[in-house]
Structures are given as structure tokens and as C-alpha cells.
Structure 1
Amino acid sequence: MDKDQASETQVEAPSNEIIIAPLPRITLQAFCETPGVAATMQAVIADRRMDKAHARIQMGGPAAAVEAFRSAPTPNVIVVETVSDPATLVRHLETLSEACDAGTKVVVVGHVNDVQLYRDLIRRGVSEYLIAPLGTLDILRTLSELYVAPGARNLGRIIAVMGAKGGVGASTVSHNVAWAIARNLDASTVIVDLDIAFGTAGLDFNQDPPQGVAEAVFAPERLDANFLDRLLSRCSENLALLAAPAMLDRTCDLSEDAFDQLFDLLRASVPCVVLDVPHVWSAWVKRALISADEIVIVAAPELASLRNAKNLIDLMRAGRANDSGARLVLNQVGLPKRPEIDASEFAKALNVEVLSSIPFDAQLFGTAANNGQMIAEVQAGGKVNEAFVQIASALTGRGEAKRGKRGLFEPLVAKLKRRRA
């Protein structure tokens, strides 16, 4: 009934939190017997991690599952809830196993905490036995682990940073936060400039790589760990850049899933990925935000930013019911002669806490931008740099103490060696 279908090896995430991997393109059918489990399964298939999966739910339990697959092919995963006695359950599963295609995985949800039953089910090829009541994340974690290689470590964390409006400094924030994660928190990090036409990451890091994110997006058939390694430009010991070409020779009307393959590969290769998301609204931007592990909305303390930030935060709440909400960073605070909305009023209107308020300093930011430097390289001990370190710590769950050194490309190299072996 079960056949190993392990995914690519994963790497250690920056924090102690276990990141649940998005499921691959699978089919799933659930057969429930109680309204509670059916409602939980409905929440599971609505979660962002199930975006690629095709799932359906029906009532009837094991008997309905047996009937459904007498003459129909089985999906990749069958979830069966049972309230019957163990003997009846085993009888139904034996009948179901005769109809199951090779590789089909079966998860049983029961209402009895019975160790002997658990052992019997595992021995008969059932992938997992869960005990109701269950939370949405409990089922998501179980389904995700069906496609994770045994012994694989946690996935890398994706942090998406976007401005509530143009010109609020979201790119500057994302670049400096990525620098702080890599340098102050000692986590191998890749920053991805998603603004293919007008991206500034190359300028900010004083880099001019011949290849970058455009090659990854426009030639997906070539994209693998080795190709990605060649596209990355090293900025420091722990930080690499996937730069944008900032050229207008072709338009960037990208499909909704244009970056899926790249993000999946980065998740499995590097502990931390920071996305510099441009201030545009398209299907792929919405998908990139909703699928990220952490979202940072950068806003200026004025009305247009307030309105747009509210729309973005409300959308993220609706689309990410099982995740933490988007974080709010106020930038350019204290701009001379500009009337501003106080941070407390801003936070109250959005019903969120302000993660950090970054003071306006034209001399500091202008010098860094013109020299292709990070704020820490211009003024390491200032309040602005402290703000970026604080944001980095909050997003990764790490303290400021550095940990053992590890080369940026070590996960990629290790993966290549495993594949060659």
C-alpha cells in the first residue's frame, strides 16, 4: 500500500520552529465520518501548503473508500477516518489494499489511543495513524512528512519583504535585513531580487553579475542545484545574491507559478531566503507572499501606506489562516517637515504591532546607497543598524550570538555529492 516517494533533502532552518514543507503535486481524497474531522480536513486543503495538491473530501469513512475505489484508480494519498471497532477497520483496509495502486499512501484517523492497533496498521502498510481530535497543522505536518526523505533536516525559511507603496525603502530594508541575518546571526542566506526590470540589489551590494534571477525564471528546464550555484553571486561569507538584470529588452508578464521551482530549490538548499518583492500586484506576487514563511510589509508613516498596508495585511490574514500574520516595519520615520501618523496609531488601525520603526537619515542611507554598501558597513554601531539586527532576530527566531561557521554553499555541495553517489 505504501512505497517510498521521498522528496529532496532539506536543510536546517534558522530557528527552532519546524517549517512544514509545501506538498508536491499530488492527488488526495479524504473519507470522513464525523463533522469535526471533515471540517479540519477542509481547513487543511485550503491551506497555502496544499496549493499544488488536488484534494477532495467526502463522508462515509472506510466503507465509502472501499466502494469508491472498486473500479477507480486510487489517488496518491487516502485519508480515512474511522469510528468503527479495530476488527471492522482492519477488514475494510484489507479490501482497500487490494484496490490500491502501487505508491498510494494511506493515513488513518481514529478515535482510540490503542498502541496495538497502531502497530497492526503500520505492519499492514498504513503510512500513519492519527488520533482525533486533530489540529489543522497536525494533519498538514503528517501529510508533508510523507514526502520528506527519512532523516532530512528542516526546510529553509523564506522571508518576503514588500513595500506598502513605492518609494518606502522596502528593498533597502530587505537587503540590510538579509545582511544582518547572514553576518550577525551567522545563517547562510540568499537574497533574491524579484524586480527583474528595475531591481537594485546588484547596486546595493556593489555587484554586477552576468546572470541572475532572469535565467532561473526564463529557463526553468535548466534549473537545478548546480545551475543555481552558478547563478548566485557571493556578497560575503554567508550571503549570496540572485540579482535582477534591470534590463528592458523583454517584458516580464510572468505566470502565477513562474517562481515555484526556484523557491522550492532554494528552500531545500539554504537555511534562509529573503525575497525582495517589487511593488506591483500580479498573480505571482500574491503567490510569493502567501507562500512565504514570514512576510514583512514596509510602510512610511503616512495615509497611503496605511491604506495599502491594511489591504495587504487583511489579505494575508485571509489567505494564511494557519500562519503568523504579516509583520509591519515603519521606515523613513521622522522625515523633516512631513506630518506623520504616530506608530501607535498606525499599529492600532491595522491591529498589528510595529516590528520596528526605522528613523530617517538621509546622509546615512544616501552614503550607503551611493557606495554600494550596507548600513552596517557605513555605521555599524548606530540605531539604524540595531533596528535591522532586531528585525532579523525576530524573523528568524535567533538571538544575536553567532553560531558555528558554515560555508554558504555547503548545503548545495552536499546535495550534489549525494546525487552523484
Structure 2
Amino acid sequence: MTSIEYGFERQPADVFLEDGGHTGQLDHLRPLPRISIHAFCESEGMLQTMERCASDRRMAKVSLRINSGSIPAAANMFASAPTPNLIIIETSTEPSALMTELAPLAEVCDPSTKVVIVGHHNDIALYRELIRNGVSEYLVTPVSMADILNAIAAIFIDPEAEPLGRTIAFIGAKGGVGSSTIAHNCAWGISSLFSTEVVLADLDLPFGTANINFDQDPAQGMAEAVYTPERLDEVFLDRLLSKCSEHLSLLAAPSTLDRAYDLERGSFQPMLEVLQRSAPVNVLDVPHAWSEWTRTLLGEVDEVIVTAVPDLANLRNAKNMFDALKKLRPNDRSPHLILNQVGMPKRPEIAPGDFCDPLEVQPIAIIPFDAQLFGTAANSGRMIAEMDKKSPAAETFSQIAHIVTGRATVKKPKKGGLGKVLGMLGRK
């Protein structure tokens, strides 16, 4: 695959976290490497901040131990135990006495161990003295989870490392709601609108439809990536991809039933890590299922888009999914919602406003039912914009592509309903 520039703008719709930080401070933070950290907390606030850090998806590989106490407690512990890669210590000690208090800890620390001090005094002279004496960072309380994670990243992540690609997962609140169709059209839209390399990964191994929708019949694809992780690298991945357009590549599902696809929790993790190093945008078509591997994957991606149709079963499922995902992703934005197949003739529907109120979100798109356009596109192996680039549906997919890549935000509706929500199609 060709080398291209990553650089998407930060999505402006930041969500403020409980500790005063906001999601925008974490947008471009890479997953932290496999390191060990011991944190020593004097205050309840610092203890809660470290507990929030422990639950963040970017800390998945980190071994974190949270302790009560300050510098003396750390010195006492490591007098008889090896020091970790990083020690984070909160201290209220006066600046004039801090270096003296740190001396016993310095005597027992391994030379490679990094130290971050969280102090209660905003003193530039103290900061300079600490840095001069080997402390990696000095933060002043109150600190947020974002402050802590960015401080760790500054120490252990190479600033010259290539950026990781953005991972965007699409999943349906129920089977048959059109999540795959939306994922495929958005992947095509991102690649064509922004002339950026996109990989579409079809994770529905037995019943995936990406190969049909793009009129492809690759001999290899997702099965080889999942079942031979020891072989997987950028070169091997490139051989598994099939080209759909100038900037869009497909990692197709086998779509056969010659085996049972009983996947383990981390089955897709090696593939995702390689994908993130290979392309700036990776669109994941996730099947409607709730298993260990889907929970794990949805907890680790950058964006989640839930597609639903406006009926009661979809509302119940979407509510359950939103609640579960907020627990899995406590420091990330809420998943996006797309309402699909709206206005199907003779079908009773829940009004968009009534559907969205329990979810406490606004949809980024409301897509009207159009059996002729979508059916013809599917049977022709073409995308909606290829069939009719001036259609309302094609414009909606363009808007979704801007939102999920961080190039646009959802506009708040004016009084009187959802008619002005970005992506809602009032005209038919």
C-alpha cells in the first residue's frame, strides 16, 4: 500500500469527563506499551484519577498497581522489591523539603525507572530542580486522567513513531438493519472524498457481504489474518487485501460454512494492530453479535457507530448496547447512532425523537427507506454514490464520512424536532 499522510482534524464535539478533562485530550493518544506502573496516592481525588486511568482502553497492556501513601511508602516498598518502569507519586511536601524526602527513594530505584511527581505547589524553580535531578515530569494538582495518560505517553511513546490509523467499527442494533451496507458505503466515501487509504475489514466470517457488495472474489482474506496470526505483518496483510478502488482495499470474509467460527476474545487483536500501522483509516464491519471478541473489539476502537431501524426491538437493543459501551469506554465519546430504513411503507415506526430520547443521543444520520436504489446497488456490486452521486442517500454517506473521521460535528437540532440534525433527510 502506498504511503500517505494521516492528519485528520480533531473532532470538535469533545465530551467533558468527570475529573475535568475532556475526550479531545485523548483523541490522538496511542495505546500505551506493555509497562509496569506503581502509583502512590495521598488524596482520594488522586486515587480516583488513577482508578479511571486503569479502566481506560489505552491502558489495556499496562500493569498498574495503585497504593495509598506518598514518597516514604514508595521508598519502603522498593527497599525490598524491584522497581517498576514508572512510579507516580502524589506528595504535599513543601518545595524546600521535597528533594531531601526523595533521597531514600532515589537510593532504591533502578536507574531505568522513571518517576512522575504530582505535587501541590506550582513552583517553577522546584520543577526545574526535579527535572535536573532525573524526575521525568512534575504535575500540579488537581490533575485529570488525561493529564496522567499524556504524561505517561510522553515518556514511553516515541514522538517520531508513525501515527496509528483510525479504527471505526459499524455494528447493527439488530440483524438486517443495514449496518454492513452503511459501513461499506462509508468506507468507499472516505477513500474517495479524502483520497486517503482505507481498509474495509469484514469481520462477519460466515456471512459477510463486503465481497458481494464490491463484486470481489478474493482467494484469501480475513480467515488467513485471524487463524495465522504468527505470519501476520504488513507484507502478509498486503497480500490478503483486494483492491476495490484507487484508495480502498478490502479484507474480505470467507463467507463459507465449512468450519465453525468459534473465536476467542483476542482473535482480531493482531490483525487490528497491523491494520493500524498500515492505513490511516480502518472501517470494521462487525456482525450483530455479543460475545467476548465483539465486546473486546468494540472497547478498543476509536469510534463505534450503531445502526438501528425505528422499532421497539431495535430501541431495546440499542439502549442495551449504548449502556454497555459507555461502561466499556468510560473515557470516550458516546457511540454514534444512525437510523436507517425510515419511512418504510405500511410499517409502524417509532418517531425519531421518541427513539433517540431514551438513548440520550442525536442521530448523525436518518436514512429514508429506498428499496429501489439500495437494492439495485447491492445487486450490481456498486456503492450508492456510484449509482447516483446526487441522491440524498449519497449526500448522507458523505456527511457520515466527515463525522466519523473527525472532519465535522453533529449540529444541534433547532426547536421543533430533529429536522435539522446533520444527515437527516427531510426531502424524499
Counterpart CA distance in 2 for 1:145 and 1:13 is 19
Aligned match of 2:53: 44
C-alpha deviations, 1:134-187, integer Å up to 9, x for none?
111221222233332123354322111100000001000111111111111333
Partners of 2:279 and 2:140 lie apart in 1 by 34
Contact 1:13 1:155 in 2 (8 A): no
In the alignment, which residue of structure 2 is the partner of 1:16? 10
Q: What is the CA distance between 1:254 and its match in structure 2? A: 1.6
Higher relative contact order (CA 8 A, sep 6+): 1
TM-score by length of 2: 0.87
What's the counterpart of residue 27 of structure 1? 36
1:330 to 317, 336, 339: 339
Q: Is 1:272 matched up with 2:281?
A: yes
Structure 1's 127 and 251: CA in aligned 2 closer, same or farther, altered over 3 A? farther
- Distance, in Å, in 2 between the alignment partners of 1:11 and 1:184 is 15
Partners of 2:247 and 2:127 in 1: how far apart?
45
Deviations 1:50-73 (A, max 9, x none): 222221211111111111111111
Measure the CA separation in 1 of the matches of 2:377 and 2:384. 6
Counterpart pick for 1:240 among 245, 249, 254: 249
1:183 and 1:397 map into 2 onto residues whose CA distance is 16
Choose from 381, 386, 400 the match for 1:372: 381
Cα deviation for residue 315 of structure 1 reads: 1.0
Kindly state the Cα deviation for residue 374 of structure 1 after the two structures are TM-superposed.
Answer: 0.7
Change (3 A) 1:217 1:65: same
Structure 1 equivalent of residue 121 of structure 2: 112
Question: Counterparts in 2 of 1:212-227, with a 5 A limit?
Answer: 212-227=221-236
Of 337, 341, 344, the residue aligned with 2:350 is 341
CA positional deviation for 1:331:
0.8
Match of 1:306 among 286, 302, 315: 315
Identical positions, percent: 51
User: 1:374-389, aligned counterparts within 5 Å?
Assistant: 374-389=383-398
User: So what's the TM-score if we normalise by structure 1?
Assistant: 0.88
Moved more, 77-86 or 369-378: 77-86
For residue 399 of structure 1, report the CA deviation from its aligned partner.
Answer: 5.5
CA distance in 1, matches of 2:30, 2:389: 36
Mapped pair 1:75 → 2:84: yes
| Aligned partner (choices 131, 134, 141) of residue 125 of structure 1 | 134
Equivalent position amino acid for 1:53 in 2: V
Change beyond 3 A, Cα 1:92–1:302: same
Q: Matched residues in 1 for 2:79 and 2:274: separation?
A: 38
User: Are the equivalent residues in 2 in contact too, given 1:12–1:153 (CA < 8 A)?
Assistant: no
> How far did 1:127 drift?
2.3
SS in 2 for 1:146: helix
Decide which moves more: 260-269 or 27-36: 260-269
Between 91-100 and 365-374, report the one with greater CA deviation.
91-100
| 1:337-390 CA distance string (max 9 Å, x none) | 111111111111221111111111111111111111111111111000111111
Q: Quick one: which amino acid aligns to residue 249 of structure 2?
A: A
Aligned to 1:419: none
Contact 1:11-1:270 at 8 Å conserved across structures = no
Contact 2:167–2:303 (8 Å) recurs in 1? yes
Q: Secondary structure at the match of 2:272?
A: helix
Q: Structure 2: how far apart are the matches of 1:156 and 1:268? A: 6
Whole-Å separation in 2 of the counterparts to 1:15 and 1:242: 26
Deviation at 1:194, TM superposition (A): 0.7
Q: SS at the partner of 1:30? A: strand
Q: List runs of 5+ in structure 1 lacking aligned partners.
A: 1-9, 401-421
Distance in structure 1 (CA, Å) of the matches to 2:5 and 2:100:
41
* Aligned with 1:256 (options 248, 252, 265): 265
**What is the distance in 1 between the residues matched to 2:92 and 2:245?**
57
- Partners of 1:235 and 1:241 within 8 A in 2: yes
RMSD of equivalent CA atoms: 2.0
CA drift of 1:105 comes to 2.4
SS at match of 2:334: coil
Q: Any gaps of 5 or more consecutive residues in structure 2?
A: 12-26, 410-428
Residues 35, 63 of structure 2: 8 Å contact kept: yes
Equivalent pair of 1:193/1:275 in contact (CA under 8 Å)? yes
**How far apart in 1 are the matches of 2:253 and 2:111?**
44
CA shift for structure 1 position 11: 7.1
User: Matches of 1:118 and 1:153 in 2, distance apart?
Assistant: 30
Classify the secondary structure of the residue corresponding to 2:364. strand
